[in-house]
Structure 1
Amino acid sequence: MIPSIPISRRFQTTYALYVGVFFLYLLLPLVVVILFSFNDSLFPSLPWKGATLDWYLGAREPRLGIFNDGELLGGVWTSIIVASATTLLSVGVALCNAFLFEREHFFGKNFLYVMMLVPLVIPGVILGVSILIFSSSVANQLDDLWGIEIEGLRPGLLLVVLGQFAFITTISTLVISARLRKFDQSLEEAALNLGASRFTAVATITLPYLKPAILGAAIVSFLMSFENFNTTLMLVGSDAPLTIAMFDRLKEGSTPVINAVSTLLMLFSGLLAAVSIFVQRPPTGKN
């Protein structure tokens, strides 16, 4: 809405009602998930049978809580390993990509930039299947021709990391590039004129300026990797990340422990999102 244009009270009321209904539509399913994680019932559904912490702290079946569920905790640890590896690879390559596309001029630059964006428009399932077929074909050829067996090309955590890295790197590149585009290169030139090397100028001036974007990209990469399902499902082996472990558990029959896991994931994602907003907030100085 434009402040300078007169707006009727009816329009203001309708607009406020629309915004309220929109956020209610977004938040109500999350609230329901949280509430049923405390429901004293073996099923995550009505009727409400009272409050309990069994789905968080329960130590025995059939009320085994998340903090005592070895399978789900193992999935959490596997997800942390995959997300950490994916984040390190994605942010490292994204930083190089940002300098390449923002600082350098070369033949085919626009084509490469478009190709970098392609994984964002490819469905995760298709991306996972493509990587799986390619890696399996290479592994089979190496085994048939030279008798070389490379387990890393078979379904497993390495392929999961590579599959997630394929599209998360693009997002990290866009985040870092957006901030690098605003950087005043005359600061680097001044450092070079004072005798600093190119590496020193970038390390002491440019990278500190990019630090909020790098941290923000790392947080986004970690969250996207931790919660990814489509690509991971196609590439996973015997070690299942949390999303796959939850999917397997749902196939056996849902219990409120899944709600408890979802509640903790929402809390964890919210905290990381808050940290991301905080680190990217511009510093405020005193007048």
Structure 2
Amino acid sequence: MSTDYQQARESLGARLRELRLTRPAGKLTGPQLASALGWPHSKIYKLEGGKQTATREDLRAWTEAIGQPDAFAELAARLAGFETQIRSWRRQLASGHRPVQQHWNAEIDRTTVIHAWEESVVPGMIQNADYARHVFTRYANLHGSPRDIEEAVRARAQRQEWLFQAGRRFHVLIWEAALRSLICPPPVLAAQLDRLAGIIGVDTVELGIVPFTASVKIAPANGFWILDDRLVVTEDWHAELWLDDASNIALYTKVWRTLRESAVYGADAHNVIYAARRALGSHR
């Protein structure tokens, strides 16, 4: 968790404690407030100590329990301020995968140029339906999220229309590991690799592959997307990071350009893809 995020969470917790102690009708102890809310006592101190992130519902209940409902707007604004950067999968996927895909679609629609790097999976913008279906299923299993798999697949497929719109440019780098990772059955991966090979030559797409044998100047890890020059989106197991400050955008742009120095294109990229495709013969 980033230092900035944790500091913001601790600041919100300190404000919650201040409101509890300065309650107009007299301060409440932690156990008293927990009893009024029907919460475990530990939750009060986790929230106040920055050990747990409050939800909007938590904030509303807190302000009502202390008799200061007008404070909700301030607290909700604080929460929104730091959640725009770190978006937990638990919260994002509470309503399923389709809403997350639809939100991505809206962000992509207002983007002209994308620079992407993926080290372990074929990028969503160029996944076929069967491959995407297996990816969504794996993540639904991991997070215990609603299994709206088919709706998510359709939403992702809709986003791919962006690739065929004039004026768009998709500059994508993929590590060879993504071509060989059996997150799906071998026949599904084979069809996905055929799709990937067919993308080469599409005039809106520049596809580079970083082979296992390439000399690299930076470790090929941590997939990320740069949308125009305004936003970087990267992810970890627990959350997505949405970064819009100039220094982070410059850093990720430098990383992308450094990785690009190790990539191959055109016929050489085809050869890497076909080698991965041939290797699937032993898995059939």
TM-score by length of structure 1 reads: 0.23
More helix by share: 1
Q: Computing the radius of gyration over CA atoms, which structure comes out larger, 1 or 2? A: 1
**RCO comparison, higher one (Cα < 8 Å, 6+):** 1
TM-score by length of structure 2 reads: 0.23
